[in-house]
Amino acid sequence: MNIDGAATLMFSPVGWLIVYVWVFTCLTAVQLTVRLIRRWDLRETAIAALWLTIVALLVSLVYVHLVNSLADPATIARLREQGEVAGSGERLVQLYLVNQRLRWIWLAAIPLAVASWVVARRVLAMRPRSALVCALAMAVLIAPWHTLFLT
């Protein structure tokens, strides 16, 4: 799937809803762990999850674009030919792209951690240390893992 296909998938209403539910669930779990159920609020969490969903979708889109631009077209063509000869189809190309995306996933986690820290401090009113724990956990949980299998 090219960048247009990835954008169509990620920005479709169903895709957006799935990402929002995932972010909301992760944020709720992290809040209940960090705050120990003392101050969880549905409205506050829903607003924070909305902000983080927007950031996560934008980071995913940029991440897919950057990683796809780093993939070597000659290697993809060679793997495609090998796949046709071996009868495995696009599997070698998919494995190559998954490897490339895994190699650079940490790059996508950095802006997600920053956005999560800002949302934790501003929207959720967490103390700095709690916001840091929340930001690190959210960066790992909402990283663009779903993009690993887009080819």
Question: Does the pLDDT value for residue 63 go beyond 70?
Answer: yes
Q: What is the largest CA-CA distance in the chain?
A: 60
The parent domain of residue 20 ranges over 3-149
Q: Both ends of the chain: CA-CA distance in Å?
A: 4
Round to whole Å and give the CA distance between 66 and 125.
33
The answer to whether 118 and 140 are in contact (CB under 8 A) is no
The amino acid at residue 28 is T
Amino acid of residue 94: Q
Domain count, the chain: 1
Model confidence over 72-100: pLDDT tens digits? 899 989 999 998 888 887 888 888 888 88
Separation of alpha carbons 21 and 99, rounded Å: 27
Q: What is the pLDDT of residues 97-114, one digit of tens each?
A: 888 889 999 999 999 999
Per residue in 9-58, pLDDT tens?
Answer: 667 888 899 999 999 999 999 998 887 667 888 999 999 999 999 999 99
Provide the whole-model pTM: 0.84
